């Protein structure tokens, strides 16, 4: 019988939510392990913060460097971090863990994860998912061409490797990250040929300064100045209604529709961004109920004000619980850690509430005006619901027309769609097609996305080798179910 | 909020010739086969999330394990395997979908002496039954098996080979059936679970669903695990229980394996499936049990060691519909004439027999002697 | 091509890509190293045989798959460069070592 490593609290992800939660949990005396996929803490938003390649701090902007203090506190907190750890399952513990039958039912989880191609299990009494967000799919014709990347991906190249595109570069989409990247590129002296803004025309310039002022989130405290700096130095095209990446084997040009006219720009790199959506796969496979957030056109886990879910001892904090930004993520991480301590009986509810009060006040300020802000940046329908030959499922190369015609045939939902067309069956496990498939079925059948539903996910939520699975502990009952000597 | 109903190409009749409750492999194969003998058919189905055994298939068209305790089942299965090329050809012609039927024979690998002994004993008992149809099977040693399975692991000391076995792509089959039904004008009604069923004095069945009442002259229950509760409403005793099976899917690789094993196969597009387990786990198909997956994985690596560093891209479990003795139940209701039930746990293997033999019987309104072994009267024999 | 900003710190690491030597920075992911040398595509897909390259840089899109030290389907963006690493482009379904 394999001896598991044990802890009180397992945190998945070392972004702002995970780091803040770990600091808080360690302070409260919980034996805490953070399982992080990346080599260094910081998540995506503070990627590279502990080993920054750039000496010139002004390139990224001061709000990025806020992460340094957080990462530093995290590394001194006493919480143990496992780097390069990809979590693929969270399983309720078996009653008999080899120590003999318990008098009380075991209440713990086996968190299955891999480091360097070796599968391991972490025995945890409470699990906090802080897996953050991912770029929303941006299914335009040609979005799979080499040379087309996400703006977030380009930002990672800048933060962790000091790389900027050389050649004709077009940014396209909507939302603050796109403008932030443009500003960072200007600081770095990188070339930007155009920024194609797909925010539905008429809304953006009127409301944007107010939205950012309203938010007063540190990333955007200087938002207006940032916006003006970008506008002054980069050709910004507003009201872009349609977008195409063109090329043979590689991106060669970007075609866009603005004010009723099509234009073509030669391009070597197209950096796309239309917001981020929560990473739901692990939570969904763990049995956490999810709901469709129509304002933000994405799936979200159902959590309470502590990040607690319907599944006992599984909580969610940060953008993975619903998009609210990096600072909100920290505060929610701390609240989730307080709740974990209460759920584990280490502190009582009164102490939890008392210590939470100032955090809640800060969280309220960090999320002020969020609903208005999110509605403003809701990506245009046309850019979320492709047609024709546009690829919907990148892994299995399933097109929008294939999905639409199956929907017209009466296909029930994403799971039957998956069975029919294989969309969602590739290694990304639907991360880049789930929302699109749900929305296309909804549109074709005149139903709401909430009604249509989402792919049903199961462990392992990240690929792992057959050999790794073979190294996991077996049970007598399991063997009997497989090795059948009677039939 | 009312769901937008799927608009059928043909107008909805006041009374259908047949209502098939259940849009899985059994229901769809039967609806397909009843048409065009019956013109107006509706298939009622649940929503996207339901027990859905038909999406959890390994896809074997398998004969060599079947029929210990009921030789008629072996005969029915063998017959279905023989009919399968006809079904596959028809579906290709009607829908353009190639369901990838391959019947090159199949292997049952044994990984220990105990397994070999048990399996040989089983096969001898199976083929020693009176009235057992005869078909070839052979015990292979490692060397012989390795000729069929390049790279076969040394742990596979023996394997049972039968040339009558094969496999199909079960998802393509499922899709082909749905497309064929649509082409033929059979009405597929999703999100229409049957809640109550009554039969009027006129013999017409009325099925209540959230989208209204549907009427049909014949009723075919093909609703898997729900057959039990629905059957009770029309005087049919359907003793079925869920039996969970878990499967692992591996990423695509270049072609390595052409022969299906009952525990491992490479699909037409290059991905792999590893099977299978039999667990009495109740109605829980969401949880994937790690210990079972670990055993499945270990045995797969022992069977084909080269797969050790191939990645699992997903795992799932599904609930088989297991009758009390594991054999199909085809039965007309003694109290509600015109109501039938059809249930089995081999919806893929039997799809051809269902579509081409059983469905015409249902269309004609009476089950024939060839399927008399599958009535539920066999369960009542024990009753005092 | 992605270029390195002046003043970017780091030790040089050497790997090979398709048999040709590639110099990169310690701490780079393999994907960053390839992009820094102008390789926007790193494989041809299994279904359609079309070229793909890194897209998300954070391990969720599975488009940056390459063979690293003989092991296929490794995510280039999730693997740090190492001195002497052998990286190869993939074409179609992966190989399986006997």
pLDDT the model gives residue B286: 62
Would the CB atoms of C27 and A150 count as touching at under 8 Å?
no
H/E stretch holding A178 reads helix A176-188
- Look at residue A207 in the predicted model and tell me its pLDDT: 59
Q: Do C25 and A53 touch (CB under 8 A)?
A: yes
Question: SS3 string of chain B?
Answer: CCCCCCCCCCCCCCCEEEEEECCCHHHHHHHHHHCCCCCCEEEECCCCCCCCHHHCCCCEECCCCCCCCCHHHHHHHHHHHHHHHHHHHHHHHHHCCCCCCECCCEEEEECCHHHHHHHHHHHHHHHCCCCCCCCCCEEEEHHHHHHHCCCCCCCCCEEEEECCCEECCHHHHHHHHHHHHHHHCCEEECCCCCCEEEECCCCCEEEEECCEEEEEEEEEECCHHHHHHHHHHCCCCCCEEEEEEEEEEECCECCCCCCCECCEEECCCCCEEECCCCECCCCCCCCCCHHHHHHHHHHHHHHCHHHHHCEEEEEEEEEEEEECCCCCEEEECCCCCCEEEEECCCCCCCHHHHHHHHHHHHHHCCCCHHHHHHCCHHHHCCCC
For B189, name the nearest residue in chain A, comparing CA atoms only: A410
CA distance A122 to chain C (A): 22
Residue contact B252–C71, C-beta within 8 A: no
CB-CB neighbors (< 8 A) of B251 in chain C: 73, 94
Neighbouring CB atoms inside 10 A of B3's CB total: 16
ipTM of the complex in this document: 0.97
Show residues of chain C in contact with A188, CB under 8 Å: 5
Q: Do C94 and B256 touch (CB under 8 A)?
A: no
Site from B310, B312, B314 to mutate, C interface, most C CB atoms within 10 angstroms: B310
In which residue ranges of chain B is CATH 3.50.50.60 found? 18-56+171-239+325-380
With an 8 Å Cβ cutoff, the interface of chain C facing chain A consists of: 1-5, 7-10, 25, 27-29, 32, 35-36, 40-41, 45, 47-48, 50-63, 65, 73, 77-78, 80
**A42 in reach of chain C (CB within 8 A):** no
Residues in chain A: 487
> What is residue A227's predicted lDDT score, i.e. its pLDDT?
85
The alpha carbon torsion through A364, A369, A373, A376 (nearest 10 deg) reads 150
Q: Is the dihedral of CA B312, B273, A397, A409 positive or negative?
A: negative
CB contact under 8 A, B171 and A422: yes
Contact of C59 with chain B, judged by CB distance below 8 Å, is answered with no
C10 interaction partners in chain A (CB closer than 8 Å)? 53, 162
Chains with ≥3 CB–CB distances under 8 Å to C: A, B
> Chain B within 8 Å of C92 (Cβ-Cβ)?
yes
Q: Does A57 touch chain C (CB under 8 A)?
A: no
Distance from B264 to chain A by nearest Cα, in Å? Answer: 13
Q: Do B307 and C96 touch (CB under 8 A)?
A: yes
* pLDDT the model gives residue A104: 41
- Strand order across the A236-237 sheet: A148-150, A269-274, A169-174, A194-197, A236-237
- CA–CA dist B198, B134 (Å, integer): 44
Which of A146, A145, A194, A192 has its CA nearest to residue A166? A192
A304 Cβ under 8 Å from any chain C Cβ: no
Chain C touched by A39 (CB under 8 Å): yes
**Is-contact B240 B322, C-beta < 8 A?**
yes
- Ranges of chain C whose pLDDT falls below 50: none
Q: How far apart are the C-alpha atoms of B291 and A474, rounded to whole Å?
A: 4
Spatial distance between the Cα atoms of A487 and A116, rounded to a whole number of angstroms: 39
Q: Do A469 and B191 touch (CB under 8 A)?
A: no
Superfamily holding B18-56+171-239+325-380: FAD/NAD(P)-binding domain (3.50.50.60)
A162 with C4: Cβ contact below 8 A: yes
Q: Which residues contact B201 (CB under 8 A, 6 or more apart)?
A: none
pLDDT digits (tens, 9 = 90+) for A454-463: 998 989 999 9
d(CA A306, CA B131): 67
Which chains form contacts with chain A, at 3 or more CB pairs under 8 Å?
A: B, C
Residue from the list B252, B269, B306 with its beta carbon closest to the beta carbon of C97? B306
Query: Does A2 touch chain C if contact means CB atoms closer than 8 Å?
Result: no
A147 interface with C at CB cutoff 8 Å: yes
CB pair distance less than 8 Å for C1 and A396: no
Task: Provide the pLDDT for residue B2.
Answer: 32
Domain ranges of chain C: 12-91
Task: Calculate how close chain B gets to A447, using CA atoms only, in Å.
Answer: 7
Tell me: the pLDDT tens digits for B184-225? 999 999 889 999 999 999 999 999 999 999 999 999 999 999
Crossing angle of the two packed helices A326-343 and A349-366, in degrees rounded to 10: 170
For B202, phi and psi rounded to 5 degrees? Answer: -80, 5
Sign for the CA dihedral angle at A475, A477, A481, A485 comes to positive
Q: How far is B274 from chain A (nearest CA, A)?
A: 10
pLDDT at C7: 79
Both tokens assigned to B116: 């070999």
Which of B69, B32, B337 lies closest to B183, judged by CA?
A: B32
Q: Report which of A472, A461, A278, A346 is spatially closest to residue A32, judged by C-alpha positions.
A: A346
Residue B320 backbone dihedrals phi, psi, to 5 degrees: -70, 155
Q: Which residues of B touch A415 (CB under 8 A)?
A: 48-49, 52, 55
Chains in contact with B, counting 3 or more C-beta pairs less than 8 Å apart as contact: A, C
Eight-state DSSP code of residue A3: P
Tokens encoding A276: 């981020």
Q: How many residues does chain C have?
A: 98
Any B CB within 8 A of C98 CB? yes
Give the residue on B whose Cα is nearest the Cα of C94: B253
**Using CA atoms, how far apart are residues A64 and A45, in angstroms rounded to an integer?**
8
Between chain A and chain C, the number of residue pairs with CB atoms below 8 A apart is 133
Is B170 within 8 Å of A392 (Cβ atoms)? no
Residue B8 to residue B186: CA distance in whole angstroms: 8
pTM as predicted:
0.93
Neighbours of B131 (CB within 10 A): 10
| CA distance to A4, A90, A98, per residue, from A106 (Å) | 15, 15, 12
Bridge-partner residues for C25, per DSSP? C12
The token duo for B347 is 């919806």
Residue A73: Cβ within 10 Å count: 14
Q: Which of 3.30.497.10, 3.30.9.10, 3.30.830.10, 3.40.50.2000 would CATH assign to domain B242-323?
A: 3.30.9.10
Classify burial at B329, counting beta carbons within 10 Å of its beta carbon; exposed 0-12, middle 13-18, buried 19 or more.
buried
10-residue mean pLDDT profile of chain B (384 residues): values are: 46 94 96 97 88 81 96 98 98 98 98 95 96 97 97 97 98 94 94 95 96 96 94 95 91 96 96 90 71 95 97 90 94 97 95 98 96 91 54
Measured in degrees and rounded to the nearest 5, phi and psi for residue B52 equal 50, 55
What angle (nearest 5°) sits at the alpha carbon of residue A201, between those of residues A195 and A205? 75
Interface contact A465, partner C, CB < 8 A: no
- Spans of chain A, pLDDT less than 50: 1-3, 95-106, 219
Question: What integer pLDDT is reported at residue A216 of this predicted model?
Answer: 56
Write out the E strands in A2-155: 5-12, 32-35, 80-82, 85-92, 109-115, 118-129, 133-135, 148-150
Q: What's the pLDDT score for residue B289?
A: 80
Note which residues in 71-90 of chain C have CB less than 8 A from chain B.
71, 73
Residues of A in contact with C1 (CB under 8 A): 165-167, 268
Cα B20 to Cα A484, B36, B170, B232, distances in angstroms: 35, 15, 21, 16
So what's the pLDDT on residue A100?
A: 36
User: Quick one: fold of C12-91?
Assistant: Ubiquitin-like (UB roll) (3.10.20)
- Whether the Cβ atoms of residue C71 and residue C39 lie closer than 8 Å to each other: no
Ranges of CATH 3.30.9.10 domains, chain B: 242-323
> How many interchain CB pairs under 8 A, A with B?
168
Would you tell me how many other CB atoms lie within 10 Å of the CB of residue C19? Answer: 8
Which chain C positions have a beta carbon within 8 Å of A116's beta carbon?
none
Q: Enter the tokens of residue B80.
A: 């279905």
H or E element at residue A370 = helix A370-376
Distances (CA, A) of A487 to A41, A340, B120, B124, C57: 51, 47, 11, 12, 49
C96 touches chain B (CB under 8 A): yes
Q: How far is CA A268 from CA A86, A144, A253, in A?
A: 33, 14, 7
């Amino acid at each position: 019988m394999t001896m598991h490593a044990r802890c009180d609290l397992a945190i998945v992800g070392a972004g702002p939510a995970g780091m803040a939660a770990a600091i808080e949990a360690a302070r409260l005396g919980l034996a805490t392990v953070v399982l992080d996929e990346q080599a260094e803490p910081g998540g995506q938003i503070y990627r590279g913060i502990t080993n920054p390649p750039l000496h010139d701090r002004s390139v990224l902007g001061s709000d990025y460097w806020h992460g340094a203090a957080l990462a530093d506190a995290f590394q001194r907190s006493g919480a143990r971090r496992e780097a390069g750890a990809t979590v693929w399952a969270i399983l309720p513990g078996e009653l008999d863990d080899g120590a003999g039958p318990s008098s009380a039912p075991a209440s713990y989880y086996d968190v299955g994860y891999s480091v360097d191609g070796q599968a391991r299990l972490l025995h945890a009494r409470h699990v906090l998912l802080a897996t953050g967000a991912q770029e929303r799919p941006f299914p335009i014709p040609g979005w799979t061409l080499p040379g087309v990347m996400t703006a977030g991906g380009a930002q990672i190249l800048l933060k962790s490797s000091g790389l900027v595109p050389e050649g004709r570069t077009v940014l396209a989409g909507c939302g603050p990250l796109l403008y932030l990247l443009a500003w960072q590129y200007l600081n770095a002296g990188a070339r930007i040929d155009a920024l194609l803004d797909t925010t539905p025309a008429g809304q953006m310039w009127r409301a944007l300064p107010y939205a950012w002022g309203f938010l007063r989130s540190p990333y955007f405290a200087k938002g207006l100045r940032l916006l003006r700096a970008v506008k002054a130095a980069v050709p910004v095209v507003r009201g872009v209604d349609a977008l195409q990446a063109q090329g043979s084997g590689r991106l060669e040009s970007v075609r866009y529709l603005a004010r009723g006219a099509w234009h073509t720009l030669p391009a070597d790199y197209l950096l796309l961004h239309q917001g981020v959506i929560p990473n739901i796969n692990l939570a969904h496979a763990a049995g956490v109920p999810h709901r469709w957030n129509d304002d933000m056109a994405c799936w979200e886990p159902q959590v309470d004000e502590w990040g607690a879910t319907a599944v006992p001892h599984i909580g969610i904090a940060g953008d993975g619980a619903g998009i609210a930004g990096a600072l909100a993520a920290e505060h929610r991480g701390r609240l989730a850690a307080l709740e974990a301590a209460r759920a584990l009986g280490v502190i009582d509810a009164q102490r939890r509430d008392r210590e939470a009060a100032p955090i809640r006040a800060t969280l309220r300020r960090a999320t002020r005006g969020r609903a208005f802000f999110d509605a403003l940046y809701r990506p245009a329908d046309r850019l979320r619901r492709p047609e024709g030959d546009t690829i919907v499922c990148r892994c299995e190369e399933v097109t929008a027309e294939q999905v639409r015609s199956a929907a017209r045939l009466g296909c029930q939902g994403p799971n039957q769609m998956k069975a029919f067309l294989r969309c969602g069956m590739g290694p990304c496990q639907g991360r880049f097609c789930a929302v699109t498939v749900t929305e296309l079925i909804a549109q074709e059948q005149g139903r709401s996305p909430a009604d249509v539903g989402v792919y049903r996910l199961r462990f392992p939520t990240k690929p792992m080798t057959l050999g790794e699975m073979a190294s996991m502990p077996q049970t007598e009952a399991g063997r009997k179910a497989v090795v059948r000597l009677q039939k | 909020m009312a769901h937008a109903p799927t608009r059928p190409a043909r107008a909805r009749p006041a009374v259908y010739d047949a209502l098939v409750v259940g849009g899985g492999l059994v229901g769809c194969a039967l609806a397909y086969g009843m048409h065009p003998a019956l013109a107006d058919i509706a298939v009622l189905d649940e929503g996207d999330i339901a027990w859905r055994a038909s999406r959890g298939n390994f896809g074997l068209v398998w004969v060599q394990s079947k029929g210990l305790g009921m030789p008629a089942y072996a005969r029915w299965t063998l017959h279905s395997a023989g009919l399968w090329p006809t079904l596959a050809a028809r579906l290709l012609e009607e829908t353009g979908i190639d369901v990838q039927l391959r019947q090159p024979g199949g292997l049952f690998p044994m990984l220990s002496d105990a397994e070999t002994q048990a399996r040989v004993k089983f096969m001898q008992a199976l083929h020693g039954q009176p009235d057992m149809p005869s078909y070839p099977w052979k015990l292979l040693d490692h060397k012989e098996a390795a000729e069929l399975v390049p790279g076969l692991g040394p742990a596979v000391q023996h394997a049972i080979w039968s040339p009558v076995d094969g496999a199909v792509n079960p998802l393509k089959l499922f899709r082909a059936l749905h497309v064929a039904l649509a082409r033929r004008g059979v009405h597929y009604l999703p999100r229409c679970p049957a809640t109550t069923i009554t039969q009027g004095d006129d013999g017409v069945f009325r099925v209540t669903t959230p989208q209204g009442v549907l009427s049909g002259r014949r009723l075919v229950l093909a609703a898997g695990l729900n057959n039990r509760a629905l059957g009770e409403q029309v005087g049919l005793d359907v003793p079925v229980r869920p039996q969970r099976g878990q499967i692992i899917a591996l990423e695509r690789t270049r072609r390595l394996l052409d022969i299906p094993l009952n525990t491992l196969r490479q699909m037409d597009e290059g991905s792999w499936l590893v099977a299978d387990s039999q667990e009495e786990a109740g109605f829980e198909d969401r949880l994937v049990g790690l210990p079972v997956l670990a055993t499945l994985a270990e045995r797969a690596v022992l069977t084909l060691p080269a797969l050790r560093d191939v990645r699992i891209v997903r795992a799932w479990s599904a609930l088989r519909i297991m009758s009390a003795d594991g054999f199909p139940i085809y039965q007309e209701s003694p109290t509600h004439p015109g109501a039938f039930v059809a249930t089995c746990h081999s919806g893929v293997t039997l799809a051809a027999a269902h579509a081409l033999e059983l469905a015409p019987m249902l269309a004609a309104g009476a089950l024939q002697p060839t399927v008399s072994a599958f009535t539920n009267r066999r369960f009542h024999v024990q009753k005092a | 091509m992605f270029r390195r900003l002046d003043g970017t710190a780091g030790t040089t690491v050497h790997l090979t890509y398709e048999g040709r030597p590639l110099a990169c920075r310690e701490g780079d992911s393999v994907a960053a190293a390839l992009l820094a040398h102008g390789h926007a595509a790193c494989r041809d897909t299994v279904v359609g045989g079309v070229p793909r390259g890194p897209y998300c840089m954070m391990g969720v899109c599975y488009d940056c798959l390459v063979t690293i030290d003989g092991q296929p389907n490794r995510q280039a963006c999730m693997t740090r460069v190492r001195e002497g690493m052998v990286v190869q482009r993939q074409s179609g379904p992966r190989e399986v070592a006997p």
